[in-house]
Amino acid sequence: MVTAEEVRKKYLEYFEAKGHKVIPRALLVPQDDPTTLFTGSGMQPLIPYLLGENHPQGRRLVDSQTCFRAEDMDEVGDNRHTTFFEMLGNWSLGDYFKEDQLTWFWDFLTKIVGLDPDKLYVTCFIGDELVGVPKDTESAKIWKDLIQLNGTQVKEVDLPGDDGGQKGMQGGRIF
């Protein structure tokens, strides 16, 4: 049995070994952001840097951020909604992209944490025609290659909208 503390420590150490600087968590109640009452995601404290400002610690960062979400309070308790949680994040501020990110995360889950690759499933962005953002076929291809290295058969399943619960897994591995 691996504890949350052990996963956090291993995650931070893994990405530190990949050249990331461990940055402290931001406060749960942001001091300089009048747009929100609480830090609601791991990326929120890094928005200025994700938009182009230079971070004082460099271009590769890793953190463990506590978050609180209240906007979906009526749905808390189902399998997709929580209020208080911790997000682990590794951040590239223009230094690397999908292939390194996904490969490292697969390696972390399967080799460091020891999860069974045959029990892992992934999601990729399906796209949004209304705003002209295409389906993320690049990430799906990277995931497919990583999963197949383990000898696992890979099937991609498109689950547009909110109908995934009705469609089920359909034998898929990448959604």
Note whether 125 and 42 are same-domain residues.
Answer: no
What CATH number does the domain containing 44 carry? 3.30.930.10
Query: What per-residue confidence (pLDDT) applies to 1?
Result: 77
Determine the structural domain holding residue 72 and report its residue range. Answer: 1-96
pLDDT mean across residues, the chain: 89
| Structure confidence by residue, pLDDT tens digits, 108-154 | 999 999 999 989 999 999 999 999 999 999 999 999 999 999 888 88
Q: Is residue 169 predicted with pLDDT exceeding 80?
A: no
Helix (H) or strand (E) holding 68: strand 60-68
Query: What per-residue confidence (pLDDT) applies to 151?
Result: 87
Structurally, the chain folds into a number of domains equal to: 2
Query: What per-residue confidence (pLDDT) applies to 168?
Result: 62
Residue 145 lies inside a defined structural domain of this protein: yes
What letter would DSSP give residue 111?
I
Q: How far apart are CA 157 and CA 170, in angstroms?
A: 7
Query: Is 97 in a helix, a strand, or coil?
Result: coil
Q: Is residue 47 predicted with pLDDT exceeding 80?
A: yes
Q: Which residue, of 44, 62, 96, is where some domain finishes?
A: 96
Residue 142 lies inside a defined structural domain of this protein: yes
Note whether 19 and 71 are same-domain residues.
Answer: yes
Query: What does the pLDDT average to over 97-108?
Result: 97
Note whether 139 and 76 are same-domain residues.
Answer: no
- Evaluated on CA atoms 129, 170, 112, 40, the torsion sign reads positive
Query: What per-residue confidence (pLDDT) applies to 161?
Result: 62
Residue that the structure tokens 């406060």 belong to: 27
